[in-house]
Amino acid sequence: MSREIHHQPRIHQVLATLAYGDAIGNEAIGIRAALTRAGYESRIYVQTADPQVEDLTEDYRELIKDSNPDNILIHHFSIASRASRLAFALSDRMILVYHNITPPTYFVGVNKTLVEQCYSGRRELQAYVGRCDLALGDSEFNRRELAQMGFPNTDVLPVIPSFIHLEVPPNRMLAAGFDDDWTNFLFVGRIIPNKRIEDLIRFFHVYRTKYNERSRLLLVGAHSGFSDYLASLHDLRASLGTPDVYFFGHVSNSELTALYDIADLFLSASEHEGFCVPLLEAFYKHVPVVAFAAAAVPDTMDGGGVLYDYKDPRYVATIMHSILSDEARQDEILRSQDLALARLKRRDFRKLLLGFIDQVRRSPRLDSTEVRPDFWDQYELGERLEHLRTQRPSIYEALPIRSGVKNQ
């Protein structure tokens, strides 16, 4: 028999940063709205925030004053942070929401800082296995990763994106420049190595050479911190002799709407995604999607669009051509995408969220583990030692540290 719940706890959220318009930020804001409607007092504590949403947040250090063993912290984990480490040390019960961390190997030789952040983030996440009452992935792929790491209680709190940003009038000047009888292939997402933009350029090169010279590849997304990677993509385009590849960088909502409106096919070659909202944006804008079947992509597409699992450029170019030359197949793909999006929208996010909260409130408390004052100092020492062990083994072996300390 479940025990009675006698009072309403506070349910706060903590995350490294609240960005404007991204999937994690939108979810955090949506969670707070759902909790407030349900009668819970709820705040969002962050380390940093975009100025456009800063008024919705509190400094993460204020959590110390608000902490209570009866409260529940919803901790959005996507990178190592001071906010995360503070949350770990508090007495509040915890629901961890995992948004995935890209494997650091994708950024080796491209962005050293991000390599270190991703590596530290994955190791820090492991420390939470015994700290969380419940660990949620925002996709089934992320949930499986949590279970493989040893989290005992896992489930899925799906991303149900809002498409209101695509309801703005399209930028007419941009649309006019590309809305013609040419074929437009579109990709939306950050220009970073795990997205495998080089594969998209190779696929497009074969398609354009073999099937249709009157075609373009439109690449939309920020590339800050990845100037070397961007330069390598321009070099690849030049070496292939392939014109009509456009890098738009970050765009406004009106420009994004225009680009979806003039797109004939959405093409993705990404090898690591925790969810991938642009796939669903393309569904919403009725653009046929062709995507590489990796990580969370098959779960996100849920039977909609077209998946491929072989990256030979001639093979993928054939898929692109077969879809664009067959209107009946395009209609079939769009119907599959509409059905997948309808299934996602039928999921009651608020009901799922409140159900998870009720589950935690009714479950026995975890055995409390006192966090030593120097816990994270020792953790960081272990991080530095592990870095030396893997990256500079000769220095590591020469350290004047007893073997027992080295092997902690």
Q: Consecutive 10-residue runs of the chain (408 residues): their mean pLDDT?
A: 60 93 89 95 95 94 91 94 89 96 93 88 90 96 97 95 94 94 97 98 98 98 94 97 96 97 98 96 98 97 98 98 98 98 95 97 79 57 65 71 47
Instruction: Report domain extents, the chain.
Output: 11-160+349-371, 164-346
The pLDDT of residue 371 is: 56
- Thinking of the domain 164-346, which architecture would CATH place it in? 3-Layer(aba) Sandwich (3.40)
The pLDDT of residue 372 is: 56
The pLDDT of residue 379 is: 56
| Alpha carbon distances (Å) from 51 to 132, 221, 256, 299 | 31, 21, 22, 33
Angle, in degrees to the nearest 10, between helices 197-210 and 227-240: 20
Q: Do the two domains 11-160+349-371 and 164-346 of this chain adopt the same fold?
A: yes
The CA-CA-CA angle for residues 156, 58, 48, to 5°, reads 75
- Write the burial class of residue 224 (CB in 10 Å: 0-12 exposed, 13-18 middle, 19+ buried): exposed
Residues 6 or more apart whose CB falls under 8 angstroms from that of 51 comprise none
- Thinking of the domain 11-160+349-371, which architecture would CATH place it in? 3-Layer(aba) Sandwich (3.40)
The pLDDT of residue 336 is: 98
